[in-house]
Chain A
Amino acid sequence: SQQGEEDPQALSIQEGENATMNCSYKTSINNLQWYRQNSGRGLVHLILIRSNEREKHSGRLRVTLDTSKKSSSLLITASRAADTASYFCATVSIYNQGGKLIFGQGTELSVKP
């Protein structure tokens, strides 16, 4: 069963604007990851944040993690039409060293040129 909840389910913005997606989860985690899925394709790993980290950056991506609230957010700055995709958060439990991922339902992002 899915552990994560993502918000919003769908987001439509104009090119150049920032996009923020939120993720909540239920159990204690080792790390949280964000993946992107373009239509009809496999998932692509974007960024990983460990449970002892609060913020991480990678290019135009900024991820925050609040373990007290069991939530994370993904910010994409200066969005481009090519960012149009579904974005998923996925957690790795502290009880699972194999790296089993539990995915959220995803946010569908549409960036209009």
Chain B
Amino acid sequence: DAGVIQSPRHEVTEMGQEVTLRCKPISGHDYLFWYRQTMMRGLELLIYFNNNVPIDDSGMPEDRFSAKMPNASFSTLKIQPSEPRDSAVYFCASSLRTSGKYEQYFGPGTRLTVT
């Protein structure tokens, strides 16, 4: 398996622009997680899905952030409009909970810079 795939790997955008981050989880996994990592706040869970349904979005910072999972093999995290404080590395991870396992498999991340 190719692992969790994220695109783009790097994104530089100007304040006010819309940013869309993409994730393809490991085939067959039933949970998908979006995290954000910054030096100041460390790793934060933003939202997670179970079988494409959002379960907990309490970590989403504000209405500018939205996430979707239209099918089992694709998810997006959108920021509109973007702000400099959104600069961070965004990780997607997936897991196979129905097998009783809790381990999460992380993608390589998208480094977002908002100027």
In the complex, which residues of chain A have a beta carbon less than 8 angstroms from the beta carbon of B64? Answer: none
B-side interface mostly: strand
Whether a CB of chain B sits under 8 angstroms from the CB of A81 is no
Q: A2-B41, A35-B106, A45-B103 are in contact. List 5 more A-B contacts (CB 8 A).
A: A42-B107, A44-B106, A48-B103, A88-B43, A101-B45
A window 73-104: CB within 8 A of B? 88, 92, 97-104
In the complex, which residues of chain B have a beta carbon less than 8 angstroms from the beta carbon of A105? Answer: 42
Interface positions of B (Cβ within 8 A of A): 4, 31, 33, 41-45, 48, 50, 55-56, 91, 93, 95, 97, 102-109
Whether a CB of chain B sits under 8 angstroms from the CB of A10 is no
> Looking across the interface, which residue of chain B has its beta carbon closest to that of A43?
B106
Interface positions of A (Cβ within 8 A of B): 1-2, 30-31, 33, 35, 41-45, 48, 88, 92, 97-106
Please state if B48 and A100 are interface contacts (CB–CB under 8 Å). Answer: yes
> Looking across the interface, which residue of chain A has its beta carbon closest to that of B95?
A99
Task: Determine which residue in A30, A100, A103, A104 has the highest number of CB atoms from chain B within 10 A of its CB, and name it.
Answer: A100
